[in-house]
A and B are shown apart, each in its own frame.
Chain A
């Protein structure tokens, strides 16, 4: 016997409201492909590119109590839609980086200050966190950014002006920078 859609939705909302989930998630469409978006009670904790990805990595990061709760993710989906349509240049939703190790968090906190439409380099970011020789480590920290797009690791490029790398693929990095109208060499 199939569970009525309303009851199914009611349970999902109740589970989220009761604070029983490690994270609520949803899948949303975007110009850079499908996005798996997840949030804890504290904020957005995960954005992953591509529908071929499963919940495996998210589960390793936050825990097994994962449930698809579209309503919980509505504000995030809305802001992402506005961002992709060019109406939004900063995100207002809270971000939860509690599961991120200290050094990486330091890098990501600094990264959030790089404004829309601008780019910086791995070396410059390393200097900004007071570790000018740590460009490579900064690259590693960005590569494992759990909340791409909102925490804008796409705004970090190589000293020569080349895009260098992106966990979601260089094509997506280029698309995001073009959308923001960033001046690339």
Chain B
């Protein structure tokens, strides 16, 4: 697989901002979309330096946006409305990960996909998840353990 070089953040942002904004308006409403939009791209910017390749950056930023949506729902104490199917709109970066990680809880799924699909280190994943490296590592290994159990 040929490596696609990482574009300047401006190019990445310009290519995906409208789609991500539309997604956020649908998911959290126009009122909250502004904050969610800013949070999504700030998290993307924090993790951007750690990207090893530019494959499917659209799916990557969708993962981040979905995570921001979940955090926003948590904050507004309406997590009970978040069904398993509702928590994931975007396509994970790789088919095998989609297949494998699809059943994991949202945080574990995001950590697994970002670690093994995008090769981010735990500092960067922590930045995306809005937590830290330790929490990101725990979520990723919990996800992997759960996958192992499901596969055996």
Q: Which A residues have a C-beta under 8 Å from some C-beta of B?
A: 1-4, 7-8, 10-11, 14-15, 18, 20-21, 25, 55, 58-59, 63-68
The secondary structure that dominates the B interface is helix
Chain B hits for A67, CB < 8 A: 9-10, 13, 45
Residue tally, chain B, CB below 8 Å to A: 21
Say whether A15 contacts B42, CB under 8 Å. Answer: yes
B64 CB → nearest A CB, Å: 14
User: Contact: B9 with A66, CB < 8 Å?
Assistant: yes
Closest residue of chain B to A10, judged by CB? B38
Report A-chain residues with C-beta under 8 Å of the C-beta of B41.
11, 15
B-to-A contact residues, CB < 8 Å: 6-11, 13, 17-18, 21-22, 25, 34, 37-38, 41-42, 45-46, 48-49
Chain A hits for B11, CB < 8 A: 55
B42 in contact with A20 (CB, 8 Å): yes
Question: What are 6 A-to-B residue pairs whose CB atoms are below 8 Å?
Answer: A1-B25, A2-B21, A15-B45, A21-B9, A65-B8, A65-B45
User: For the complex, what is the distance from the CA of A66 to the CA of B45, rounded to whole Å?
Assistant: 10
Q: Inside 8 A of A4's CB, which chain B residues have their CB?
A: 34
**Can you add 5 more A-B contacts, CB < 8 Å, to A18-B42, A21-B9?**
A3-B21, A11-B41, A66-B9, A67-B9, A68-B10
